[in-house]
Structure 1
Amino acid sequence: MLREQGTLRVRALLPDGSLKRAPELELKALDPVSKQGAWIDASDKDARVYRGVEAGRYRVTFVHPVGEFSKWTTNSEVTMEAGRTRDLDIGFKGLPERAPLRGRLVGGDGRPLSDIGIHAFSGDATQDAFASEAWGRTDADGRFALEHLLEGPLRVEVNAGNAKVELDASAKDASLRFDFRPTVEGRVVGPDGKPLRRFSVDWRTFESPEGRYEVALEGTWPRTLPFKAEGFATTHITVTPSAERTLLPDIVMDEGRTVRGRIVREDGKTATPLIPVALIALWDMEAFLAGSTITTTADADGRFVLEHVPRESMILHASNDLSGTVSRPLGVEEDAVSLRLVPDTTAVGTVADETGRPLEGVRLRSWCKGSFGGSDESDAEGRFSLRSPAGCECVVKVTQTERRADWPLPPRRSFWPLRFKGRPGESVPVHLRLRTGPASVHVSFPEAGEWRRVVLVQGDVPVPSTAEAMNRLVLDAVDPEAESAERRPERRMDDDDSIIYSGMRDNHFSSLPLGRYTVFVVEDRMGLAVRRYPLNLTSPGVHAFEVKRPFDEGAVYLSP
């Protein structure tokens, strides 16, 4: 039963004392509540208004960008009383800003380290009254300057947190030595042995008359580095550094091959025109956001051409709503293919609440290996159908995307994912029922990150031994629900269903039965880093905790 509720009016003030319009505010309960984020968020002339707030202690957080490469955070606790309205002013008026932090970063050999990410922090943004953060990258001489930090002791992190330095409040200069920051270097040449003047390595563009590059291996290794140049096939080189500086043999770019093909229906007749065709590297099939894909579109006769295709094992994939799907390996030497579409499996089912009452307007998606699948929305009778490649292990999940048209937001509903697999043309029954349970889990990060993902699985589950197995576990796991109702859709970007759960700062898992669970935090930015948090839910209510960034000390690193 809900306790009596009150109203909180929050005004966000800028450093000069003026009012901040559309501020980035967050309200978080510090005492147990019926449901985190169940209050109604609105705005009046000069304040953010939270209505329906249960009695208890809360933390209000205001984050404000200062310049292009820094931000300030302030936290204020407020106690709400039943039936009362509280007013809170929160901001940065009169806070002293320290002089820019300047410094130089060198390696163990004393040579400057260029293009390395540097972060500096003052205070703890999750709980301190005031905190600040600034970031940048070193220049060619290893120098950096971080501006708009608040006064106080600083924590400086180098290379995605792989090295940390504590500085006192009076520090104005930071000369840092990073003893082991492996780099790879070498030349990129064409088939004739002449250097290429413009190319990219690991998504960084280089322009060099001699075709030279130097790349810092931030994160985990071994690393697979993509080498790209216009008019050539992408070359992937896996690197395991054995010293601080690793000299690679010349990377000889190849024009690759031209692959020609035709798509036909199962009966051999020409398929519907304009079918999209994708060519995906075998090792990239399980990535959250595949980065090695080559795409094209078949013409009216079903024919297609893919140019500059690497001479490596890849997967050809094509799909059409009417005729089905085909996924087949492309051999290293193949340059002509015929693709025959196979009728899809269709997951046909219903969505209902715990009493069996149909639920309308529930968005669903089927996920299969390689991020293939379909999407649908339940009708007035709770019915849906989802296309998926025949013969594939797939999972149905509810995707609670928030969009502007959805305001006021519908009640948060939670479902277990369901797996299915079917033969060509088969309809597989899949019925989802509302998940019920007295417990909830709320997982929060120090900050959001686009490459980060949080999932929950039932039971005490160890970290898988490979990246492929970890990605399979993520596919089958429970995803976080949509963000709490305190953020109106007009204050956030529209989400794409395929990446809605990636990178949220606050992650909610509601209506959980008591028992054992495991939360996995996965970051697929510079190699796969995983953190595991076992949970034993023995009592009802919200179980909230904050997790570290995956690349901080203590993570498990997985290779393909």
Structure 2
Amino acid sequence: MRHSVALCCLLLLPTVALGARVSGTVVDARSEPFTAAALELARTSSGTVVARAKSDEDGQFGFDVPPGHYRLRVHAPELCAPHEQSLTVAKGQAVETLPLQLHRCVRVTGRALGSEGAPLAGGRVTLHWLQARVPDQTATTDAEGRFDFPRIPQGRVRVHLMDTTGGELLSTVRMTAPRTLEVRGGARVLPILIRGFGGEPLEGVEVLLVPEPRDGANLRRHTDARGIAGVPVQPPGRYRLMATWYRKDDGFHRQTWRDVELKPGAPESSRLELRFEKDAYSTTLSGRVRAADGTFLSDAEVTAIRRTRSVPLDDDFLSEDTWPYETATIRTDAEGRFTLRDLREGEYTLTATHARGYGEALAVAGTSHFEFTLDPGCPSSATGRVVDEHGAPVRRFQMLHLDVEDPEGRFHSKGQCQLFFKAKGFITREVDVPRSSTQAPVSLPDVVLTRGRTLAGRVVRADGRAALGYTLSAEWPGNVADSVSQPIDASGRFSLGPLPRDTEVMLTLRSHHHVLRQRVPPSHEGELTLHVPAFDARLEVRALSATGAPLAEVEVTAEGAAGAFSVRASNSHEVDLELPSGLYQVRVTGKADPKSASTAVPARFFPWKVQVPGQGTTTLELRAVQGPGALRVLLPAWSHCDEILVVPGEHSWPDQLGATEDFRDTGAHVATDDDRETVNVGAELMSIRMSSIMRDFSHLVPGTYTVFAKSLKGDTYGRGMLFREVIQVDGPGRQLVQVRFEGPQARELPW
């Protein structure tokens, strides 16, 4: 591990336009003055010295010179070398202050230790300055591991430690006293050199070394000023070496990769190298951006995001770390034109953002000129009134997350395209604000809120006593409010609202182990009694792996007319459920087969129907199913997908997003994805992240499957996107499904 050590400071090289007098202050990075520093001005053309001065006790200096171009030199005992910089003195009598912030020369000593804590004799300690143009300095350790840098400039440095063979070691650095270091070596370093288009070493590139076994840890580092990222020497095997090159100034984001094999007996000092090949980035994407009224827009931000990864998609090296995709960003010129360069061939998502609107489209790099028309943006402001059904003002309400109180119910919003209004006793309402390419303020019609009804009553057990430990919630079609829910009080009573008067409401009663549901029609009036049925039956489920071995962790859910009942067992393959008698659909989910080599593959079960009679125990033994099929679902991005369902058989499009839950409710076998995690080991930390842009489904039973992926983010509030693709899984080959929320395989549906 390498740490940067703060030894001090920063150097400024200003160019100023002065009059006939030059003055200033000479200080170090801590603003401490240099006393009696010698300064002189020499003409750039001839080298003739025309003025000399010395700094006072406050570091200040000054001298008079004629206009011209000069070299300013500063000499001081505290400097490792004289400081020089260019200076231009213009005509005029203005007096300017010229701050000089210089690096003092200091002595740094320390001791180098091996991984066991013993002195590292004959090693080399190299200091690399991070914020100053200072050549690297190297010292050799003595028999006791000590090193000495007698005169070096202040500044932030990175410390590199090499052993007697010249191999670099991962090292930790700490300061034991002012300007005294302790450098402790660790594992040997495998250096990875990253080069740019012209072969130049690249600094700040993220490097990822991915082992072929999916359960291995990815090694993540960033390259230093030498273009090198050091990782611990790895055991022999196949690896994928990936690099991500990012420039903040223009949004340039590129990736490259190659597969490497580390062989037994290879020299530990061997170096891996990866280069961004210019030929791979030879295409451009150009066009113009205009507003909805046809006006060409200058200074619009245009971003191209490559829609597919540049690495193979179907092998075991792939991980979520291959995202984000390659991107490039530029701003349009005065005529709305743009040209994005150094792109790979392929399809890109092109976005344009401007104060007058936003646009998104698909484009292919290297094709003809692309004309981009932005959708109108949100108005600069919107005003209006909130009233009830009779036109009376609602004086207190919440708009978005703002509390508003106005005697006439008036509101004023800024820069919003959608508004949400909530008031006590009323049903929450969402309002679309008309868009405008000119961002002109708009005045909205009255926003009418409808008073809701309140459902009140009691939850009782079969013996008439109050049912405790439940939470009651209500849902209805088109609900845009936060979930309406409340716990049942000690007497079993509830009062739930506001709820719509003209819509059927679904009430859900939840406890730790079961869920009960009841529909309430819009015509219902008066008290409502919810009955918890008698738990007069017992269901015992034994879950076995595909090889017949008991599973260590299972969850069993039995769903029937009385509701859904579930129990999780963490240390047993047997689960007992107490539930009302009746016909049930039993679903089992389990951890991986403990005897299987693929420990990341969960145990998958087909659903099973069983009649559970009262006053007895019904025993059900279920064995997991598996086959040679494999499926990989690739997502657009981390945040773009809320759920993936892989359902056996061919299934048609539902009418709304929530209907996909019917696959579970009706007992369809919804496959569980592999339980894999991405483990990244960085220079200073280890992070574990669930794979979120890729889902693998291994050991599937061959056959037809329907893949659904849904996102709650649609073009309008209350609607989301659903992706659907029917595939055939057969044999050991891995099927690939690329989720895209556009085109014929995607539809926008209501929630």
CA displacement 1:6-34 (0-9 Å, x = unmatched) = xx9897989973586xx8x58597xxxxx
Q: Which residue of structure 2 lines up, in the alignment, with residue 481 of structure 1? A: 673
Letter in 2 for 1:518: T
Letter in 1 for 2:257: S
Alignment of 1:249-328 (within 5 A): 250-272=446-468, 274-282=469-477, 292-311=482-501, 312-320=503-511, 326-328=516-518
Tell me how far 1:205 sits from its aligned partner.
9.7
Letter in 1 for 2:546: E
Which structure has greater strand proportion? 2
CA displacement 1:386-430 (0-9 Å, x = unmatched) = 5789879756242659xxxxxx99442331341547679786655
Tell me how far 1:293 sits from its aligned partner.
1.9
Q: Does 1:506 align with 2:694?
A: yes
Instruction: Call closer, same or farther: CA 1:457–1:28 in 2, change over 3 Å.
Output: farther
Q: Which residue of structure 1 lines up, in the alignment, with residue 203 of structure 2? A: 17
Tell me how far 1:351 sits from its aligned partner.
1.7
CA displacement 1:248-285 (0-9 Å, x = unmatched) = 8633224533433222211101223x53221222566x
Alignment of 1:450-465 (within 5 A): 451-464=641-654
Instruction: Call closer, same or farther: CA 1:363–1:325 in 2, change over 3 Å.
Output: closer
Q: Which residue of structure 2 lines up, in the alignment, with residue 336 of structure 1? A: 527
Q: Does 1:157 align with 2:338?
A: no
Q: Does 1:126 align with 2:292?
A: no
* Kept in 2: contact 1:460–1:534 (CA 8 A): yes
Match of residue 604, structure 2, among 415, 419, 444:
415
Tell me how far 1:540 sits from its aligned partner.
1.9
Unmatched 5+ residue regions in structure 1?
1-7, 30-36, 136-143, 218-225, 285-289, 402-407, 496-502
* Kept in 2: contact 1:259–1:337 (CA 8 A): yes
Instruction: Call closer, same or farther: CA 1:77–1:550 in 2, change over 3 Å.
Output: same
SS, match of residue 40 in structure 1? coil
Match of residue 234, structure 1, among 410, 427, 434:
427
Greater displacement, 301-310 / 77-86? 77-86
Q: Which residue of structure 2 lines up, in the alignment, with residue 442 of structure 1? A: 632
CA displacement 1:314-343 (0-9 Å, x = unmatched) = 122223358x65422234354632222124
Q: Which residue of structure 2 lines up, in the alignment, with residue 141 of structure 1? A: none
Q: Distance in 2 between matches of 1:347 and 1:547?
A: 41
SS, match of residue 517 in structure 1? strand
Instruction: Call closer, same or farther: CA 1:125–1:168 in 2, change over 3 Å.
Output: closer
Q: Which residue of structure 2 lines up, in the alignment, with residue 221 of structure 1? A: none
* Kept in 1: contact 2:710–2:720 (CA 8 A): yes
Tell me how far 1:444 sits from its aligned partner.
1.5
Q: Distance in 1 between matches of 2:429 and 2:646?
A: 33
* Kept in 1: contact 2:538–2:612 (CA 8 A): no
* Kept in 2: contact 1:443–1:507 (CA 8 A): yes
* Kept in 1: contact 2:456–2:494 (CA 8 A): yes
Q: Distance in 2 between matches of 1:271 and 1:73?
A: 60
* Kept in 2: contact 1:530–1:556 (CA 8 A): yes
Q: Distance in 2 between matches of 1:303 and 1:50?
A: 64
Tell me how far 1:506 sits from its aligned partner.
0.9
Q: Distance in 2 between matches of 1:372 and 1:84?
A: 60
CA displacement 1:226-268 (0-9 Å, x = unmatched) = 94324243345799x9x99999863322453343322221110
SS, match of residue 449 in structure 1? helix
Match of residue 189, structure 1, among 369, 386, 400:
386
Instruction: Call closer, same or farther: CA 1:91–1:263 in 2, change over 3 Å.
Output: farther
* Kept in 1: contact 2:560–2:582 (CA 8 A): no
Q: Distance in 1 between matches of 2:349 and 2:574?
A: 54
SS, match of residue 454 in structure 1? strand
* Kept in 1: contact 2:606–2:624 (CA 8 A): no
Identity %: 16
Match of residue 548, structure 2, among 356, 368, 389:
356
Instruction: Call closer, same or farther: CA 1:511–1:165 in 2, change over 3 Å.
Output: closer
Instruction: Call closer, same or farther: CA 1:79–1:278 in 2, change over 3 Å.
Output: same
SS, match of residue 471 in structure 1? helix
The RMSD of aligned alpha carbons is: 5.9
Q: TM (normalized to structure 1)?
A: 0.64
Q: Distance in 2 between matches of 1:61 and 1:163?
A: 29
* Kept in 2: contact 1:161–1:551 (CA 8 A): no
Q: Distance in 1 between matches of 2:730 and 2:364?
A: 42
Tell me how far 1:303 sits from its aligned partner.
2.0
* Kept in 1: contact 2:602–2:674 (CA 8 A): no
Letter in 1 for 2:545: D
CA displacement 1:28-82 (0-9 Å, x = unmatched) = 97xxxxxxx54422669963898796x6xx7555669988x97946241214477
Q: Does 1:41 align with 2:217?
A: yes
CA displacement 1:97-138 (0-9 Å, x = unmatched) = xxxx9x9874358799xxxx9983344561179954489xxx
* Kept in 1: contact 2:541–2:621 (CA 8 A): yes
Q: Distance in 2 between matches of 1:205 and 1:89?
A: 59
Letter in 2 for 1:271: A
Q: Distance in 2 between matches of 1:481 and 1:423?
A: 30
Q: Distance in 2 between matches of 1:110 and 1:391?
A: 68
Q: Distance in 1 between matches of 2:405 and 2:271?
A: 57
Letter in 2 for 1:448: W
Q: Which residue of structure 1 lines up, in the alignment, with residue 411 of structure 2? A: 211
The number of aligned residues is 483
* Kept in 2: contact 1:456–1:478 (CA 8 A): yes
Q: Which residue of structure 2 lines up, in the alignment, with residue 78 of structure 1? A: 259
* Kept in 1: contact 2:291–2:373 (CA 8 A): yes
Q: Does 1:533 align with 2:721?
A: no
Letter in 2 for 1:449: S
Q: Which residue of structure 2 lines up, in the alignment, with residue 107 of structure 1? A: 292
Q: Which residue of structure 2 lines up, in the alignment, with residue 220 of structure 1? A: none
SS, match of residue 301 in structure 1? coil
Instruction: Call closer, same or farther: CA 1:466–1:39 in 2, change over 3 Å.
Output: closer
SS, match of residue 472 in structure 1? helix
Letter in 2 for 1:519: V
Tell me how far 1:441 sits from its aligned partner.
1.2
Bigger radius of gyration among the two: 2
Letter in 2 for 1:177: T
Tell me how far 1:357 sits from its aligned partner.
1.8
Instruction: Call closer, same or farther: CA 1:134–1:152 in 2, change over 3 Å.
Output: closer
Instruction: Call closer, same or farther: CA 1:150–1:486 in 2, change over 3 Å.
Output: farther
Q: Distance in 1 between matches of 2:328 and 2:528?
A: 52
